[in-house]
Structure 1
Amino acid sequence: MYVNRHAQGRIHSHLMRILTFVLLACASRCAFALDPAYLLSQYGHTSWRLQDGSLPAVPDPIAQSADGYLWIGTTGGLYRFDGVRFTRWVSEFGEELAAKNVTALLGTPDGSLWIGSDSGLDRLRDGRLTRISKELDATIVELTLEPDGSIWAVRTYGAPFATSLCRVHEDRLQCPAPLPGLELTMSSCCARGFLREADGSIWLGADLGMIHWQAGKTSAIYPAALSESRGMAGVVGVARTRRGDLWVAMARDGREGGLQRLVNGKFQPLVTTGFDSSALSIFALYKDRQDTLWVATADQGLLRIDGDRVERFRASDGLSADNVLRLFEDREGNVWVSTVRGLDRFREFSVVPYSTREGLSSDDTGSVMARADGSVWLGTSQGVNILRDGRVSKLDRGPAVLRDHQITSMFEDASGRLWLGAAQSMFIFDRGTFTPVEDAEGRPSGLVASIAQDTRRNVWMQLAARERKLMRVEGTRIVEQLREPQVPPGREVAADPAGGIWIGTMSGDLARYRDGQLETISFADVNPDITERHVDDLIVLADGTVMGAAGYGLIETQRGQRRALVRSNGLPCDRVWAMQFDRSEDLWLSLECGFVRITKGELAAWRQEPSRRVALRWFDALDGATPTRAPFMSESAMSKDGRLWFPSLNGTHVIDPSRLKEPAAAPPVHIEAIVADRKQYSVRSRPVFPALTRDIEIDYTAPSLALPQKLTFRYRLGGYEEHWQEVGTRRQAFYNDLAPGRYTFHVTACNHDAVCNEQGASFGFEVLPTFYQTAWFIVLAILASVLLLWAVLAIRVRQVATRIRSRLEASLEERERIARELHDTFLQSVQGLMLKFQGAMEKIPTGEPARDLMEQALDRADVVLVEGRKRVTALRHSTRAQRDFTAAIRQLVAHVSEDTVVDVRLTVEGQSRGLHPVVAEEAERILSEGLTNALRHANAHTIQIEILYSRRELTVRLVDDGRGFDESVLQAAPADGHWGLAGMRERARKIQAQFEIASRPDAGTSIELRVPANIAYASDR
């Protein structure tokens, strides 16, 4: 029998043969019963279904590459999965698979992914695809990596189908494999099963049975079920367990069919209560690293077999479909299951909820007790359940209240008696007899929430009723009842090894009652904002340390010291419900947000430094932890096998510290894509983005297949930002309007165990500048701006100088006009007037007093006239365009030196230049005034005059060593008749000069005048 393949859509040939056979075998379905000793619930399960849009085609083969990605083969191509998203593989180099229908996958340590299809074999490595073989009528149905590094393939070809065992050698497929003496004679052979034993022998699954090749010889075994079916499906899997069992899986059920153990050439099915492995129609068989068998059935879901224990998972339990195709275990221990409707993942939970599914009477567990005989007693709302040797039974004897009501408390005393509390009653179970605990008047105890036995073998019971009493029991009688204020209202009690009893109070404090004395240790200052503070659990250690699980954290008192472990110390949430130490003395806490393990070393470090942040491991809902506070007794227990039991309203949570996996390795980090302005670039080389690139998107990931929801990332763009951005679970980075330059993107990741890949991944890229963003353009722009500013400044300076010179020229013209008017009018008029007076005088006789007076007046008038002519002459000279300022100052110095003993020195620097007449005159007047002040008032011994001709300005400086004066005098109004300093400032302002005077008492005086060159120096005009 064979199936024709459509020319435009080939289907996996072997899968089609199995599916065809399933149609014939659907009638032979069987029922299964679960062994309650094995908990399916210890595995977390996640499904990706086709209707979710994550997978566009039916998944079949599964593999994992060395970089951590999971690869899924479908009839529509190859897909990659990082734990969060599926991505269809498309070669960035334009390469194509031998065929889209992927039928086999294998990842090898060298980073290669081997891809079998219905047209040959390819190898994908470092993004490049290598064609190993291509045959239009050949399908690779299985790929196997052997310990020696060799790769083996099972190939079907032709129609009707024939098969062969092949080996990959030097990137070529050798078909058939070079195995001397191997005879493939059982129908078409090699359905899918292939196993290479440690001794080098090979088992092959065939259509009609098993082929065994060893030392060049071939032998065959024919199961009855395959002979009767005429080989339509054959052997689909072979596995060897560590204890030596050889398991054979067949697509046909019936006698010697289904799942069989091969012992001494004989087939033996696995038969337990309600289960017969020969009644299975199997698609695939897989053995995981824990030596457990996973069985993919044709229409009966998924089976997991551990020794003789069997569990099943079907669509009704959440599996995507009952038709299971392939199985695969990744490096993190997840088991992946492909079905006709999607992809499923099974992950072993660290925390296992024990509930009605495992046989309990109800899910709400109020108390738990681990006995010395290894049994675990669970108090539920429907009575007492006993777990012994993996079997759950219910306490079906004793008072009815213990069988049908909520169990509030359980305790085993030093004599081995069991104390069981339910409703308002307490009973002692001893040697098969139940005895009620009552007071002297025969009244029941009331609702008991906690029980403890002190060193004197007194049993203390804490009531949880409205009146919270502490009662002491001797024998079976309540002999003492303590109320407030004798003891505070409590919830939990525990015995002190030094005598007495500890009480966890409703107010959140710890109290010890011993010999009638009460001692209270208050924790009111710890998290005072939390109102629900009561202590739900107590542990008293042998050294007297008392630990309490409170509504605001973990509290502890030790040798008079008190400590609190709260959220600031690293707890993921505040409320602690229960505590328990494991065999390694690590502390386990049950919190409202999960479970926390604190190692012995971290606990000791916290006791030394109570404010430190504790390194802990947190197990939340993704690890199977969904705890709630037990309704009455929050105490946990450790059973004889080392497992920890925590009561809860939604089942008892069980933790086996010995089975916990070590923290996962740091996740590999990959940068998958970079998109700039909606154009994708390769991350294998340093991309160069065009100028004015606006939007850049970087996609990165870290393949983590166990708990991808807990992966956290951080990234930083070197060249743009200095600090890391903590982005949580986000797997994309966005940047906008980056400036031109070179950048390096770094990204790191941390997994659910807080193990981080600090090296992470990085790549660089460059953004090109546009012409106006280049360095040369910026330099030119700066130069142009400087030149423009200089030109504007020069024009402005020229305008100011022109305006000043215009005012100076107007001043010169005014002087010339005044000199001309004085000479042509005033002096001439005065001269004429004097002539008239001269004529009048001549008429006065000589010797007359009037004539003498007139002669004296005319003599005086001659002097005034001469003086006036001198002034006019001087005014005329001051308008000349060129004036030797240096010579004038030299003359001034020489004149002064003749009349004084003061040493007056003149220094001239630079080439002497002609000054504007007004500037020269005003500067000379200022210098003259300063010199006069130095001679009259300063009592100076030396006066230094400096004239500096520079290109930028004219500087005139006068410095004396006289007595000086307080500079505050400069700011004050001038005294009467002392206008010298004010006049010098006015003259300086007139010629737009800078004028500065510096002086201190007994430190001399410095006068400095600076005139801009374009004002000071005379122009050619």
Structure 2
Amino acid sequence: MKAVWWVILVALGSTASVQARAAQTMAGQTALYHKSWARQDGAPAAAYGITQDSRGMLWFTSSNGLVHFDGARFQTTDEVDGNKLLSSNTNVVGVVGDALWVGYGFGGASVFEHGKVRHYGPADGLPARSIHAIAATGDGTVWLGSSAGLLWRDGQRWRLVSPADGFPAGPVKGLIALTDGSLLALQARGVYRSTGARGAGGAPLFKLAVALGDMQYALRRNDGQVILVDNAQTMHLYDPAAGIVKPLSLPAGMRNAPVNISRDAHDGVWLNTEEGLRLIVGDDLSVPYQLSGKMVYADLVDREGNLWLSTDKGVDQIRPARLSSLTLPPRMIGGLSVVVDGGGTAWIGNRASSAAFDGRSLAIDKDGKRSTTPFRSVTATLRDPDGSVWFGGNGLIHHQRGAQTATIRLPADAGKTEVQALARGGDGTLWVSLAGVGIRTWKDGRWQAGGGHAALAALPAVALHADAKGRIWFSYPGNQIAVLDGATIRRYGQRDGVDIGTVLSMSSRSGQLWIGGTEGLSRLVGERFVRLASSDGAPLYNLSGMAETARGELWLHGADGLVRLDPAALAAAAQGSNAMPMERFDYLDGHQGLPSTIRPLNSLSEAPDGTLWYATMGGVGRVDPARIVRNHLPPTPQIMALKTDRHSHALRNGVRLPEHTDNLQVDFTAAALSIPERVRFRYRLDGQDSDWREAGARRQAFYTNLGPGDYRFEVMAANEDGVWGREPATLAFSIAPSPTQTLWFKLACAAAVLGVLYLAYLARLAQLTARIAERTHERLLERQRIARTLHDTFLQSVQALILRFDLIKGALPHNAPAQQQIDTALDAAQALVDEGRDQVHDLRLADNAAVQLGDALREAGHALAAQHGFAFSLKVDGPTRCLRAQAKFEALAIGKEALLNAARHGGGAAVEVELSYAAAQLQLVVRDHGPGMEEGVRQQGRRPGHWGLDGMRERAQRIGATLLLDSRAGSGTTVTLLVGARLAYD
């Protein structure tokens, strides 16, 4: 037999220990879960080494590289963190701190730590011989066991422990680091132990510890003692503290010596026998587990307490299960039911019977003692409120109260029918549903059809239930329920919210009526049933068992296993929530088979100690809600690959991906090894995602249409119990921009777009300017026409009319009364002529491009000053600029109107005009120092019956200018016109 060595890790988790011990408190009961992986699953065969790194990943040696396993996928690799192996023929693997050590089949060793690698070979003192074992002692010394002997690392070189150091020459088969910091080494001549002393040249010294000959391998227990196994598979227990060795005997039932021996996290000894892998339980052996292969090459206890075995054909895992199952008689299969009485005895009913099996039921008391009952072919069970139990089957109904059994024969009209369901009313009436017959009641020693209700007599109910109010509930196929309340029968259907198919189970221990059917779960609210769902969206099917526990929990038993609703979920339901968190226990937790639904047997029952018993078509199991195995170890997420459409990129921070990287794939994982199927992930890409994305069990993230820039990918993981890791795994990377994605290109494009927009603006401006110029020219022509008309026609006609009236005046006597009237009319006519000439002058002046606005204002100001007797001054700032015709015309009109108002209402005070040709705007200010505007005029913005101010505002609005008017009593009036440069200057 080939020698095998082990590297044993420290055991974890007291909760797992409690469950493992609880698994053996009842004879024939197991609470362990076994799973195998073969070559077709990617698992390595004949792996001589197994270890677990600091991130939880399992590593296996193989002849073509290393294989790592995260619980979901085996992956063979020739590198670690991007560093190549020294050889693909790996023989042993171990972990020292954060470093992963690899020993090779043809010599040499490598240490991978923090993304770097250090290879050791002959140049470093390692002989070209196979490495068999790796260990590290408390003083930090790293040891290698090889075909050439025992080596220790001295700095960066390796030195061989020689016979002069107390260790004989020859191959080393195994190494064990003891809890006191010393090293135990297995050699053909015995087991040697380091003394802690140093010899010549600083070499560590050894002495013979166990002189029992050739030991094949050693197993260190949690208490520090070591199990030694020799060639004949004889076991010895070595106590390093006392230096004592004593033999360990195998159970009496062992026919042959085991092929291999292993230990689990709780110091349980596992024997690999010809029949399979078996656990020593006291002086007995457990039911054998059939491994993936016959020979065990290596074993390991991981940090979650799981036992891993490497065989000649694959890899096996044995872990604590949350549900335990009972070993039943071989023929006791099929329609099983379970009910626990008030004394804690579990009664396991069996519906099937045959020539080989008489269909008798089994009773298991609270101490685990089994006994066969006289109850045969049980098709219905009931736990009475007083703790006794009822059984229906084989034409009889049995009532078991303590050690007393009473039997009732079914009514004569029942024939050979089976009992479908049982219920016990508050008045002591036993309600019985007979398949194919209907409802019958038993009370005071006689049967009655339908309990005296003809409507119930002929229709058999699928399930019966008696609630605390004395009501009897009946369920029928097709969403139909009835309740007998006193003498009244009330029926419920789909219109009343019953939409969960055929109701198979009912419960009302808490006062709330719950019903479980083939399609889900509902509760009664008022006079209507309300359907409930799981918050994760998973459906509920075939709920044939239901139990409200003393802990305030609601447990369901359906097609997918057990479902637990805790008090918080039930409180949420009471507040109206219809989607509740539900914890599920399925095949991953040890649930086997399906509960019976065609004839819904009682499949769930609570014992007085709070333990729940459940029955399926394939067996019976139990779970203690107070001692469910929990995994409190948070998983460590890892990023495994960064891929684009064409390449897989190095996993190092700052990696730069090529330009045009549109599609990205990130692979990640977390080594949660107990129930990896329930590990959940969430991730986000900083620079793309605003929040975490829920990935569920998916271990990949995909992104499309990513632009150039810097990104940071983060992923977190939670184990099967929802314990999230403390820190996310991160990877920072960037995507290079293409020439068309660079900032300079974008700026150039922006500049080009702005240039095009500016050219379009200029073209539009030129178009608008041409249009304005055209309109302005038309207005100039119109003003010139008006000026000519006034001068050549109107004014000339008025002048001619004046001459005629003057002639008439001359013909009249000097003292004629009409003389004065004619003079008055002639004065008015002359005033009209003068005003007309002024208007013609203004029109001609505005049309004349050579006449500047300042000169026109100065001329108008002096004329008004001479007429009204006030001091006038004009100040021009900045170089005179050519104005747009329309702007000059309106500005001149506004200025003259302001001057005229100052002359009329300023009381002879001085008037100042300021004209500023600024770069940003044209500014015209007319200021007087008179009494100012009256309060009413200032508030209304005009003088009643006068339109001068309105005209000024309209003129300003016509050229897009701003007109400001500032006047205070006793402080004069200031009129300010502001015209933007673009609108004012030509």
**TM-score if structure 1 supplies the norm length?**
0.70
Where in structure 1 are there 5+ consecutive unaligned residues?
1-11, 17-34, 158-163, 223-233, 252-256, 838-858, 970-977
* Equivalent in the alignment of 1:142: 133
Equivalent-residue separation in structure 1 for 2:952 and 2:572 (angstroms):
82
Asked whether the 8 Å contact 1:958–1:1007 carries over to 2, the reply is yes
Residue number among 267, 270, 278 corresponding to 1:294 in the alignment:
270
Matches within 5 A, 1:602-681: 602=568, 611=577, 617-625=583-591, 627-630=594-597, 631-634=599-602, 636-638=604-606, 643-657=611-625, 660-676=628-644, 678-681=646-649
Equivalent-residue separation in structure 2 for 1:511 and 1:479 (angstroms):
18
* Equivalent in the alignment of 2:18: none
Equivalent-residue separation in structure 2 for 1:93 and 1:80 (angstroms):
12
Asked whether the 8 Å contact 1:240–1:246 carries over to 2, the reply is yes
**SS of match in other structure, 1:462:** strand
| CA spacing shift, 1:377–1:336, aligned 2, 3 Å | same
* Equivalent in the alignment of 1:59: 47
Asked whether the 8 Å contact 1:294–1:305 carries over to 2, the reply is yes
Q: CA deviation at 1:71?
A: 0.1
Amino acid at match of 1:588: W
Asked whether the 8 Å contact 2:440–2:447 carries over to 1, the reply is no
| CA spacing shift, 1:128–1:579, aligned 2, 3 Å | same
Residue number among 110, 116, 123 corresponding to 1:122 in the alignment:
110
Amino acid at match of 1:302: L
**Alignment of 1:538 onto 2:507:** yes
Asked whether the 8 Å contact 2:93–2:134 carries over to 1, the reply is yes
* Equivalent in the alignment of 1:44: 33
The C-alpha deviation readout for 1:182-233, integer Å capped at 9, x for no partner, is 668xxx7765596969897968475xx96587995555446xxxxxxxxxxx
| CA spacing shift, 1:178–1:205, aligned 2, 3 Å | closer
* Equivalent in the alignment of 1:847: none
Q: CA deviation at 1:669?
A: 0.9
The C-alpha deviation readout for 1:394-420, integer Å capped at 9, x for no partner, is 55xx5xxx54x453226579696x643
Equivalent-residue separation in structure 2 for 1:609 and 1:155 (angstroms):
68
* Equivalent in the alignment of 2:15: none
Q: CA deviation at 1:531?
A: 3.8
* Equivalent in the alignment of 2:712: 744
Matches within 5 A, 1:385-784: 385-386=361-362, 388=364, 395=373, 403=376, 405-409=377-381, 419-428=390-399, 436-438=407-409, 447-451=418-422, 458=428, 460-463=430-433, 465=435, 469=439, 471-474=441-444, 477-478=446-447, 482=451, 484=453, 491-494=463-466, 496=468, 501=470, 503-506=472-475, 528=497, 530-532=499-501, 534=503, 536-538=505-507, 540=509, 545=511, 548-551=514-517, 552-553=520-521, 555=523, 566-567=532-533, 573-574=539-540, 576-580=543-547, 587-598=554-565, 602=568, 611=577, 617-625=583-591, 627-630=594-597, 631-634=599-602, 636-638=604-606, 643-657=611-625, 660-676=628-644, 678-769=646-737, 773=741, 775=743, 782=750
Asked whether the 8 Å contact 2:641–2:648 carries over to 1, the reply is yes
**SS of match in other structure, 2:727:** strand
Equivalent-residue separation in structure 2 for 1:148 and 1:584 (angstroms):
51
Equivalent-residue separation in structure 2 for 1:330 and 1:806 (angstroms):
93
Matches within 5 A, 1:242-321: 249=229, 257-258=232-233, 268-272=249-253, 275-278=254-257, 280=258, 282=259, 284-296=260-272, 301-311=276-286, 319-321=291-293
Equivalent-residue separation in structure 2 for 1:982 and 1:995 (angstroms):
14
Asked whether the 8 Å contact 2:190–2:208 carries over to 1, the reply is no
| CA spacing shift, 1:579–1:242, aligned 2, 3 Å | farther
The C-alpha deviation readout for 1:271-306, integer Å capped at 9, x for no partner, is 32xx4132x4x2x42100122223346x76434333
Q: CA deviation at 1:718?
A: 1.6
Q: CA deviation at 1:433?
A: 9.3
Q: Report the count of equivalent residues.
A: 904
Q: CA deviation at 1:712?
A: 1.6
| CA spacing shift, 1:697–1:470, aligned 2, 3 Å | same
| CA spacing shift, 1:606–1:732, aligned 2, 3 Å | closer
**SS of match in other structure, 1:386:** strand
* Equivalent in the alignment of 2:330: 359
The C-alpha deviation readout for 1:806-836, integer Å capped at 9, x for no partner, is 776788799999999999x999x99xx9xxx
* Equivalent in the alignment of 1:72: 60
Q: CA deviation at 1:585?
A: 6.4
**SS of match in other structure, 1:482:** helix
Equivalent-residue separation in structure 1 for 2:643 and 2:159 (angstroms):
43
**SS of match in other structure, 1:886:** helix
| CA spacing shift, 1:14–1:129, aligned 2, 3 Å | farther
Equivalent-residue separation in structure 1 for 2:789 and 2:568 (angstroms):
110
Equivalent-residue separation in structure 1 for 2:333 and 2:500 (angstroms):
31
**TM-score if structure 2 supplies the norm length?**
0.72
| CA spacing shift, 1:641–1:887, aligned 2, 3 Å | closer
Amino acid at match of 2:588: L
Matches within 5 A, 1:830-979: 880-892=848-860, 910-911=877-878, 913=880, 919=886, 920=888, 924=892, 949-951=917-919, 954=922
Where in structure 2 are there 5+ consecutive unaligned residues?
6-23, 196-206, 239-244, 354-358, 805-825
* Equivalent in the alignment of 1:28: none
The C-alpha deviation readout for 1:245-291, integer Å capped at 9, x for no partner, is 9866566xxxxx4455779866744332xx4132x4x2x42100122
Equivalent-residue separation in structure 1 for 2:144 and 2:369 (angstroms):
45
Asked whether the 8 Å contact 2:190–2:211 carries over to 1, the reply is yes
| CA spacing shift, 1:546–1:609, aligned 2, 3 Å | closer
| CA spacing shift, 1:692–1:492, aligned 2, 3 Å | same
| CA spacing shift, 1:217–1:645, aligned 2, 3 Å | same
| CA spacing shift, 1:154–1:639, aligned 2, 3 Å | farther
Q: CA deviation at 1:68?
A: 0.5
Asked whether the 8 Å contact 2:349–2:360 carries over to 1, the reply is yes
Equivalent-residue separation in structure 1 for 2:762 and 2:32 (angstroms):
86
Equivalent-residue separation in structure 2 for 1:156 and 1:265 (angstroms):
29
The C-alpha deviation readout for 1:715-768, integer Å capped at 9, x for no partner, is 112222212111222222233443443322221112211111252222322334
* Equivalent in the alignment of 2:16: none
The C-alpha deviation readout for 1:10-30, integer Å capped at 9, x for no partner, is xx98579xxxxxxxxxxxxxx
Asked whether the 8 Å contact 1:361–1:380 carries over to 2, the reply is no
Residue number among 216, 221, 234 corresponding to 1:236 in the alignment:
216
| CA spacing shift, 1:526–1:554, aligned 2, 3 Å | farther
Asked whether the 8 Å contact 1:69–1:82 carries over to 2, the reply is yes
* Equivalent in the alignment of 2:199: none
Q: CA deviation at 1:66?
A: 1.4
Q: CA deviation at 1:390?
A: 6.3
**SS of match in other structure, 1:888:** helix
The C-alpha deviation readout for 1:845-887, integer Å capped at 9, x for no partner, is xxxxxxxxxxxxxx99xx99x9999999998877644214334
**SS of match in other structure, 1:622:** helix
**SS of match in other structure, 1:670:** strand
The C-alpha deviation readout for 1:916-943, integer Å capped at 9, x for no partner, is 6955556545766798899999x9x999
Matches within 5 A, 1:150-189: 153-157=144-148, 164=149, 175-176=160-161
| CA spacing shift, 1:652–1:1007, aligned 2, 3 Å | farther
Equivalent-residue separation in structure 2 for 1:137 and 1:540 (angstroms):
74
Q: Which moved more, 1:259-268 or 1:701-710?
A: 259-268
The C-alpha deviation readout for 1:637-691, integer Å capped at 9, x for no partner, is 3457864211233433432446632234211011233345644444343223455
Q: CA deviation at 1:578?
A: 2.7
Residue number among 352, 366, 380 corresponding to 1:381 in the alignment:
352
Q: CA deviation at 1:793?
A: 3.9
Matches within 5 A, 1:994-1013: 994=960
Equivalent-residue separation in structure 2 for 1:985 and 1:203 (angstroms):
109
| CA spacing shift, 1:434–1:933, aligned 2, 3 Å | same
Equivalent-residue separation in structure 2 for 1:679 and 1:39 (angstroms):
55
Asked whether the 8 Å contact 1:181–1:218 carries over to 2, the reply is no
**SS of match in other structure, 1:350:** strand
* Equivalent in the alignment of 2:299: 327
Equivalent-residue separation in structure 1 for 2:630 and 2:698 (angstroms):
26
Equivalent-residue separation in structure 2 for 1:642 and 1:178 (angstroms):
63
Equivalent-residue separation in structure 2 for 1:331 and 1:677 (angstroms):
38
